[in-house]
Structure 1
Amino acid sequence: MEHSTRRIFHSILRGELYGTPNTEPLLSAIKIKCSEGLSVPVICEDGSMDAQRYIDEVLPIALECGNEMLEEHWTYQQDGARPHIHYLSQKWCIDHFPSFISKDRWPPNSPDWCPFDYSLWNELAKLMNWKKITTKGLLIQEIKHSVKKIEKEKIENSVNDFTKRLRIIKETGGEYVR
């Protein structure tokens, strides 16, 4: 894998997963880290994700995982979720990560820059047994089980596609990658 594409990618699944429109949210946020492999998902079950919770519960795990896998040679990238763009989250990232792409430097179509958004969420969804999920507990269990089934080759391919996608984004002046 090229050094420039050896990054920690993560995504927060924004919004909520519902059984039906009239039920309580099953999960308010799901965080999964990816680089040279996937870790066990960190699942935030209760309440919504705000900047302080993101700083307290998510960012330290991302930092630990990144340092463990890549030492000091990696860049942390986020998307435009509210907890990510909050000034305290941005400051925490600048102060702690070896390299960080601030919200002011994100491209307009940032999902095109994140393997989770353009590839791995779909992989996870295909591997999950949706008929088995009837409760919040079973949803969490199925996510944890299915993440382990994502083939390392698919992860590496999606991260390696990152360089190709950067070239396309540059050539198209920031337009969506199709």
Structure 2
Amino acid sequence: MDAEVYINEVRPKTLECGDRMLGSDWTYQQDDARPHTHRLTQEWCAENFPDFIFKERWPPNSPDLCPLDYSLWNELGQCMNWNRITTKATLIEEIKCSVAKVDKKQF
């Protein structure tokens, strides 16, 4: 798949699903696949998604993240009751509750 097919066939569906599931205030981030890093793809995403993380800022390029960040957030996400989250405040509260549920022996 090249960038043109990716932009024309995949990105619009991603935008539609993101808006339907998350509303109008969300951030999109891709991985390092060649169609994702193409200049035209980056431009399309910046112009169309509510918020977009450019490839230069993706976690593998971030000096602020380490593998623990990925595994810890994944574990927190699995412990969360996603049905309770309806606002930013309930999200914060659910994250706090989930911290107590995480098996600390894994880390």
Give the alignment's TM-score, normalised by structure 2.
Answer: 0.58
Distance 1:114 1:61 in 2: 26
CA RMSD of aligned residues (A): 3.4
1:70 Cα deviation from its structure 2 partner = 0.8
Q: Partner of 1:100 in structure 2?
A: 52
Q: Note the residue ranges of structure 1 that are not aligned, 5 or more in a row.
A: 1-48, 120-153, 164-177
Higher strand share: 1
Q: Note the residue ranges of structure 2 that are not aligned, 5 or more in a row.
A: 83-94, 96-106
1:73 Cα deviation from its structure 2 partner = 1.7
Report 1:25-64 matches (<5 A).
49-64=1-16
Given candidates 149, 157, 172, the residue that maps to 2:78 is 157
1:109 Cα deviation from its structure 2 partner = 6.5
Given candidates 65, 68, 88, the residue that maps to 2:20 is 68
Give the alignment's TM-score, normalised by structure 1.
Answer: 0.36
What's the secondary structure of 2:52's corresponding residue? coil
**Which residue identity lines up with residue 157 of structure 1 in the other structure?**
Q
**Matched length:** 77
Alpha-carbon distance change, 65 to 158 in structure 1, aligned in 2, over 3 angstroms? farther
1:104 Cα deviation from its structure 2 partner = 1.2
Higher helix share: 2
Runs of 4+ that moved beyond 4 A: 112-115
| Deviation digits for residues 22-76 of structure 1 (CA, Å, limit 9, x no counterpart) | xxxxxxxxxxxxxxxxxxxxxxxxxxx1101110111000000000011112110
Distance 1:57 1:114 in 2: 29
Distance 1:53 1:93 in 2: 14
**Which residue identity lines up with residue 73 of structure 1 in the other structure?**
D
Is 1:86 aligned to residue 7 of structure 2? Answer: no
Q: Percent identity?
A: 53
Alpha-carbon distance change, 158 to 104 in structure 1, aligned in 2, over 3 angstroms? farther
Q: Partner of 1:128 in structure 2?
A: none
